[in-house]
Amino acid sequence: MDENQIRLMLEEENSDSNYEDENDSEVEDFVEIQEDSYNSEQEDNYEHEQEGQSAEESNSQVESEDHQTYINYYLGKDRHTRWNKTPVSNPVRRRARNIVTQLPGAKGGAKYLKEPGEIWRLFFTEDVIGRMAKYTNEQIKRISSQFIRERDCIETNEIELEALLGLLLFAGVRKNCRLNAKDLFKTDGSSPEIFRLTMSWNRFYLLLRCLRFDDKDTRVVRASVDKLAPISELFEEIIAGFKKYYSLSQFVTIDEKLEAFRGRCNFRQYIPSKPNKYGIKNLRPD
């Protein structure tokens, strides 16, 4: 072979090798780019799928909420009984006495009162306390002959009578209804000082013994038509004050309570099924 042929062959080989190197680099770069684009497409598709699923879930949730609001009943455990969510309209006309026409709470002169003494005076007026003192003094005069010393049975007044009622209320706040009244005047530090500082035990006992709320001379006539004759006169006035200065709301619960009582009462009832204060039903002896 001559030199010219050899030179041509070498040039062809060099050109082929250069071409292959260039193609290899281009292919490698192209492959890397293709891989990146493939991954990005997968991520985009995954994000779109997640967004689609969340949108479908939100739409289904909204549809379920709309469906729940549309259904106006609850389905029972037997899958057949339907319980309405709203009460059935009552075609009966509501009585006028059951219609609330005023806002609940204090009203009239009691609306802006803050001091306990002022509120107390609304219900226990000076006239009420004065009549209680009058009837109590009448009873004190009836039993005054039983005392040797006159100072042990002196008459009371409105101030002392209000002090007595205040001690009774204070004892109720302290829940001393089951405690012996004499224990409230102990000097050993086990009882509040307010009791013995207000009055002595003997005076406290005398006022409780003579406390009256009506004229005893006319009680027999009134008791023939009124079973609450001993207290009805002042009781009705105090209840009228409650109605005048306080308005009930539409949600009111009235319950009964059995009070311990040792006196005589002509309308006292015996209920065998009613438990006593210890939770034991009353049983008659055989």
Q: What is the pLDDT of residues 157-175, one digit of tens each?
A: 999 999 999 999 999 888 8
Q: Which residue has the higher pLDDT, 90 or 215?
A: 215
Asked, for residue 25, whether it belongs to a domain, the answer is yes
Say whether both 4 and 122 belong to one domain: no
Instruction: Answer yes or no: is pLDDT of 24 > 70.
Output: no
Residue 177, C-beta contacts closer than 8 angstroms, at least 6 positions apart: 171
For residues 274 and 279, what is the distance between their CA atoms, to the nearest angstrom?
A: 9
Least confident interval from 59-73, 164-178, 180-194: 59-73
Please check whether residue 218 lies inside any domain of the structure: yes
Q: In this structure, is residue 7 part of a structural domain?
A: yes
- Same domain, yes or no: 213 and 121: yes
In a domain, 264, yes or no: no
| Least confident range of 19-23, 46-50, 58-62, 217-221 | 19-23
* Count of alpha carbons within 13 angstroms of residue 274, beta-carbon side: 9
* Residue-number span of the structural domain to which 210 is assigned: 103-247
Note whether residue 93 is domain-resident: no
Same domain? 126 vs 27: no
Does residue 45 fall inside a structural domain?
no
Check whether 93 has a pLDDT greater than 60. Answer: yes
Please state, in angstroms and rounded to a whole number, the distance separating the CA atoms of residues 198 and 24: 115
Contacts of 82 (CB under 8 A, 6+ apart): 73, 74, 75, 76
Q: What is the mean pLDDT of residues 254-258?
A: 76
pLDDT of 30 reads 40
At residue 16, does pLDDT exceed 70? no
158 and 30, same structural domain?
A: no
pLDDT over 70 at 44, yes or no? no
Lowest mean pLDDT among 10-24, 67-81, 119-133: 10-24
Q: For residues 110 and 237, state if they share a domain.
A: yes
State pLDDT tens for residues 258-272: 776 677 777 776 677
* Inside any domain, residue 92: no
Percent of the chain with pLDDT over 70: 71
Is residue 238 in a domain? Answer: yes
Domain count, the chain: 2
Is residue 141 domain-shared with residue 17, that is, in the same domain? no
The reply to whether 110 and 12 lie within a common domain is: no
List, as one string, the DSSP characters of 189-244: SSS-HHHHHH--HHHHHHHHHH--SS-GGGHHHHHTT-TTTTTHHHHHHHHHHHHH
